[in-house]
Structure 1
Amino acid sequence: MIEWHWLGFDDIPRNDWYEVLRQRQDVFILEQTCLYPDIDGYDLDSHHLMAWREIDGKRTLVAYLRCLPPGLKYDEMSLGRVLTTRAARGSGIGRELLAKAIPLAEALHPGHRFRIGAQAHLEKFYASFGFQTVTEPYDEDGIMHIDMLR
């Protein structure tokens, strides 16, 4: 069973936040061998969706994303740092994460569209949630990205 938490930065328990940062480092910096500033100043004003599951008797983060409010990075609200941990890949949790995040974000910021900077190889995944590509592919930190709107 998945335990979902949708929290503002100040409401995230310290140990949970530590695990989020550890997993973001593991996925985006170590696995993808991409040196970039993960601690970018946006977390403090964002909402964070975390999925936890018990694995081998331990509460484990299995998926995560953050929702940036409109005006923080883009005119639109944005979902970012979307990840599925190694422990949960292939389980469909990434699809479940987006399916939960979109209505939560829309309720938090009604009337606003989404803009995401997606890794280009995930274009079809995000398109299945109604996102449309609005830029040509571009290199961001050594990984091809595209901007998409919903």
Structure 2
Amino acid sequence: MPPVRDATLAELDPCTLYRILALRSAVFVLEQDCVYLDQDGRDLEPDARQLWVERDGEVLATLRLLRDRSAATPAAEGGAGTARIGRVATAKSARGAGFAADLMRRALELAGDGPIVLDAQSYLADWYARFGFVRDGADFIEDGIPHIPMRRPAVER
């Protein structure tokens, strides 16, 4: 299995970033037929992390790890915020190989013991449940696709 890699935007080389964004567009815009602007500005946040698996220069799977902060606890003031996983995508040719699960496990390690949230496409809710996520609100539609807000509660040690 290829290793899971992770980096902030400042640490990413432009070619890798291009391949990550191209995979996200291939899956979310083309394959799922959702015309939307994937670049929402959140990839630019200083502590946003891109995680990916690649083989022979091809990005096979990716996700991003963010921190949601309230106005009361901005990053500049040391607010850690709630971890948020999103943009989980696997190339059609690489599905079923366990790459997304490898990415999820690494994202959970990086996120730490605090709560973690994500918005799951409804058909993937059981898959995310394997990682400790539970429903955290009402279903909603985003870009024509049913979603479920999910949360993994803080881990007590």
Same fold? TM cut 0.5? yes
Superposition deviation, residue 5 in structure 1:
1.6
Q: Which moved more, 1:8-17 or 1:95-104?
A: 95-104
2:95 alignment partner AA: R
The answer on whether the counterparts of 2:4 and 2:102 sit within 8 Å (CA) in structure 1 is: no
The answer on whether the counterparts of 1:138 and 1:144 sit within 8 Å (CA) in structure 2 is: yes
Superposition deviation, residue 16 in structure 1:
0.4
Task: After superposition, give the CA deviation of every residue in 1:37-72 in whole Å (9 maximum; x if it has no partner).
Answer: 201000011111111123xxxx21111000011317
Q: How does 1:1-150 map to 2 (within 5 A)?
A: 1-45=1-45, 46-54=48-56, 59-71=57-69, 76-106=82-112, 111-150=113-152
Describe the SS at the equivalent of 1:102.
helix
Superposition deviation, residue 97 in structure 1:
1.5
CA RMSD of aligned residues (A): 1.4
Aligned length: 140
CA distance in 1, matches of 2:111, 2:83: 8
Q: Percent sequence identity over matched residues?
A: 36
> What is the TM-score when the length of structure 1 is the normalising length?
0.88
The answer on whether the counterparts of 1:70 and 1:112 sit within 8 Å (CA) in structure 2 is: no
Q: Which moved more, 1:26-35 or 1:91-100?
A: 91-100
Question: Following TM superposition, where does structure 1 have runs of at least 4 consecutive aligned residues deviating by more than 6 angstroms?
Answer: none
Give ranges in structure 2 of 5+ residues lacking alignment: 71-80, 153-157
CA distance in 1, matches of 2:59, 2:39: 19
Superposition deviation, residue 86 in structure 1:
1.6
